[in-house]
């Protein structure tokens, strides 16, 4: 389902770019309607996908699952994940944190590079996602980051977001694991 989300996001960006080339008011209205419908479709797809695990995550693990998502994005993504497995709930939560952060980077950062890194200090999985964009993410606005916070804390973990204006955005989730 993440692949479908990425394709819809790319289509939304394409429609937005086309919108800047059109000057006819009727066509602009039509393009804006299409763009709004794509946004609604993306939101509904995210709600539907909430809690559904992609097959690659179940079969191959966190690193390959994030790599599949990264391949489809219109920016460079560096993925550094140890080749090991964690408890399914921990892997799923880390995966959804990465996906939401990557989608946000594409939509809002205006950056060109995102780094995803997983480490396992002190018996926990720590996933950090850092972009080189414009920063300024507002954790109080929107449901994406608050939904991530809920997912992470449900496992006894912690989520932090640092997004100074002009300094990119860094999201770090710490998840307890065995």
Cα distance between residue 82 and residue 76, in whole Å: 20
CATH number at residue 137: 3.30.565.10
Split into its structural domains, the chain has a count of: 1
State which H helix or E strand residue 56 sits in. Answer: helix 55-60
Q: Which domain holds residue 135?
A: 75-176
**Residue 3 maps to a domain:** no
Instruction: Tell me, yes or no, whether 31 lies in a domain.
Output: no
Q: What is the pLDDT along the chain (178 residues), one digit of tens a residue?
A: 556 777 787 888 888 888 888 888 899 888 888 888 887 777 767 655 655 667 889 899 999 999 999 998 889 999 999 999 999 999 999 999 999 999 889 988 999 999 999 999 888 999 999 999 999 887 776 667 778 888 899 999 999 999 999 999 999 999 998 6
Residue 8 lies in a domain: no
Task: Considering only CA atoms, give the Rg of the chain.
Answer: 17
Q: Does any domain span residue 155? A: yes
DSSP for 123-170 reads GEEEEEEEE-S-----TTSSSHHHHHHHHHHHTT-EEEEE--TTS--E
Q: Whole-angstrom distance between the N-terminal and C-terminal Cα of the chain? A: 29
* Measured distance CA(82)–CA(168) in Å, rounded: 25
Q: 22 in a domain, yes or no?
A: no
Q: Identify whether 62 is part of a domain.
A: no
pLDDT of residue 143: 61
- As a whole number of angstroms, the distance between CA 88 and CA 98 comes to 15
């Amino acid at each position: 389902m993440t692949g479908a989300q990425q394709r819809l996001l790319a289509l939304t960006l394409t429609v937005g770019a086309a919108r800047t080339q059109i000057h006819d008011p009727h066509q602009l209205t039509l393009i804006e309607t299409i763009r709004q419908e794509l946004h609604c479709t993306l939101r509904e797809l995210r709600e539907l996908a909430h809690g559904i695990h992609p097959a690659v995550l179940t079969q191959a693990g966190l690193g390959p699952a994030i790599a599949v998502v990264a391949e489809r994005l219109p920016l460079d993504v560096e993925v550094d994940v140890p080749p090991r497995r964690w408890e399914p709930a921990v892997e799923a939560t880390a995966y959804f944190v990465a996906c939401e952060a990557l989608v946000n980077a594409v939509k809002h950062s205006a950056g060109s590079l995102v780094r995803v890194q997983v480490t396992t200090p002190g018996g926990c999985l720590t996933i950090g996602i850092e972009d080189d964009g414009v920063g300024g993410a507002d954790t109080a606005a929107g449901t994406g980051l608050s939904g991530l916070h809920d997912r992470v804390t449900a496992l006894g973990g912690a989520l932090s977001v640092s997004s100074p204006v002009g300094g990119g955005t860094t999201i770090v989730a710490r998840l307890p694991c065995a």
